[in-house]
A and B are shown apart, each in its own frame.
Chain A
Amino acid sequence: MKTGWNVAEVIEVTQETRTARTLRLRLPGLAGHRAGQHVDVRLSAPDGYTAVRSYSVASASPGDELDLTVEELADGEVSPYLVRQVAVGDQLEVRGPVGGWFVWDPADPSPVQLIAGGSGVVPLMAMLRAHTAAAGSASPGGAAPFRLLYSVRGPDAVYYGAELDDLARLPLVDVTVVYTREAPAGSNEPPRRLDAATLVRSTLPAADNPAVFVCGATAFVETVADWLVQAGHSPARIKTERYGGTGTRP
């Protein structure tokens, strides 16, 4: 872990969707991080005003590089800057990666259920990537079943689409995407909000005692965590990461 504020350089930017962008940062001296961690990003205006926001790390590489994926909120202060203005070669102040709680440990052999709402897929993607890396090593977690349930507005709001398709073909990985507003072209399932029954149908049963990670806007996380407990999951097995924004329930 690197402590305090450090300067990272933006080395690559990729448009993820119409409203989201992935920034690849190089943070000199960083030697990897744990899947699920986040960094705090600090922006400073010329008059000394600063704004700090947290962003999960999407990548799971061992070196000094980190991918962040940021969703632009139309009336936001920080996200529009990160999505539209930051360019390759710019410097950003970051603190972390931090957070040792909402992390997946490759030494843990438990089955894993990931549940994402919108941009909440970011740290869960790091866990999927770390799982793939662990599957190629002797880590017990590499042999664990991994499931992702991803609730998203529509097909063009999906992050990491091609990579998720590839991951879904792996024997231990299962990916379910629920489209809430707009279904993919040619799909015969209409768009619908995630509900408790769909959640139970498309996740690992409580009887398997999976480690569950839920991430997304606060209202989404709150509702999903309630449903999981009602479905018999032990609250101690459910780890949550609320992103803020109280407006959107599943």
Chain B
Amino acid sequence: MTGDLDDLDYLDGNAAAGPLSEFFAIDVVSARGRCAHCGRTDALATARVYPNSHGLLLRCPGCTEILLRLVDAGDRVCLDLQGLSFVELRRH
């Protein structure tokens, strides 16, 4: 294991399913997304969630760059998807 304990202070992408469900009609954490920085493409559930920040951050497990960030401002929710260059949904 590398790094300090505070570097372990993240959850699985799955934990972002609730906040993201307000934006997407399907379960987007099961969708595959491509990191705009390094190109890694995998289910968003395999990314790292930092929930204790000023907002929710989803980071690429490959390069640690930010895939998306979400800020809940009470009467509004803001979602920035700059770090995702592609998303693929599976129809069931």
Contact = CB atoms under 8 A, between A and B. Distances in A.
Interface in A39-61: 39-40, 52, 54
A79 to B, nearest CB: 15
Interface residues of B, number: 23
A219 B17 contact: no
Nearest to B19: A40
A54 B53 CA distance: 16
Contacts of B22: 3-4, 95
Interface in A199-250: 218-219, 222-223, 226, 239-244, 246-247
Interface string A72-109: 00000000000000000000000110111110000000
A222 B12 contact: no
B18 A242 contact: no
A99 B27 contact: yes
A218 B43 contact: no
Given A219-B5, A246-B6, A101 B21 contact: no
Interface string A125-169: 000000000000000000000000000000000000000000000
Contacts of A244: 9, 11, 51
Given A3-B22, A222-B1, A102 B8 contact: no
20 contacts: A3-B21, A52-B18, A95-B18, A95-B21, A96-B18, A98-B21, A98-B27, A99-B15, A99-B27, A100-B17, A100-B30, A101-B27, A101-B30, A101-B43, A102-B14, A218-B8, A243-B11, A244-B9, A246-B5, A246-B6
Interface of A: 1, 3-4, 38-40, 52, 54, 95-96, 98-102, 218-219, 222-223, 226, 239-244, 246-247
